[in-house]
Amino acid sequence: MKCVIVAAGPGTRLRAKGESKPLIRIKGVPLIERVIGRAREAGIEAFYVVSGYRGDELRGELDALAAREGLRITHIVNENWDRANGVSLLKAKPYLDGPFVLSMCDHLVDPQILRSLLCLGFEPGTVTLAVDFHTDSPLNDIEDVTRVKCSQGRIVHIGKVIRDFNAIDTGVFLCTPIIFDALEASQAGGDDSISGAINVLAHSGRARIFDVGDRVWVDVDDPAAFRKAEELLEAGRL
């Protein structure tokens, strides 16, 4: 199984911790290395990392990690890293012609979430998003999360400002190549985000959900979330 990791943005809200967000150390280990490690625990073997901001530094560190751990890491460069994350994902289109997992470089998840997601199997022409229905969890900053409205196992709408949402986007997807068509359609309409592509698919009933249940995950996007992730790691919960 292949995994695309989006790691191109500047990560300004964690700048106090380091200049390159994917390389910020959390409990002594770079954030992106922890993301890769959890994916490996779930059985994922090949990684495609989209870099942009301070990309040379990140690619050098990933090359060292690949050599040290015997990993397959393919570099994808996004020169337009200042645009939304859908631009980064679309850069991966030439490298993928089958199903793959998509993850953000700053989302730490219980490996069992990935294992269970992979066990779902692939429905051609769809994308599945792992969602958390615990909208009141103290691990989530409800003012910052990407909100999801779900119904009957599918996504109705996804975005930052949805009021009638009932779940939260965990940043982990099971994709088929249809995602690239949706990205192109969304960007043609002026929305460069991955969420925009998911809304394109949702409108035709092709955006599915997977409920993570009580499994733990955290979006390490700011100092408060960083502290929560440290606490979860110290407690052995993540």
- Cβ count within 10 A of residue 46: 15
Structural domains in the chain? 2-234 (3.90.550.10)
Residue 187 pLDDT greater than 90, yes or no: yes
Q: Which band of pLDDT confidence, cut at 50, 70 and 90, is reported for residue 121?
A: confident
- Can you give the pLDDT at residue 233? 96
- Can you give the pLDDT at residue 143? 87
What would the mean pLDDT of 181-201 be, rounded to a whole number? 98
Tokens of 32: 């992106």
pLDDT tens sequence across 22-74: 999 999 999 999 999 999 999 999 999 999 999 999 999 999 999 999 999 99
- Can you give the pLDDT at residue 27? 96
- Can you give the pLDDT at residue 217? 97
pLDDT tens sequence across 125-181: 999 999 999 999 999 888 889 999 999 999 999 999 999 999 999 999 999 999 999
> Amino acid identity of 147?
R
Q: Which band of pLDDT confidence, cut at 50, 70 and 90, is reported for residue 122?
A: confident
- Can you give the pLDDT at residue 114? 97
Select from 210, 217, 211 the least CA-distant residue to 232.
Answer: 217
Percentage above 90 pLDDT, the chain? 96
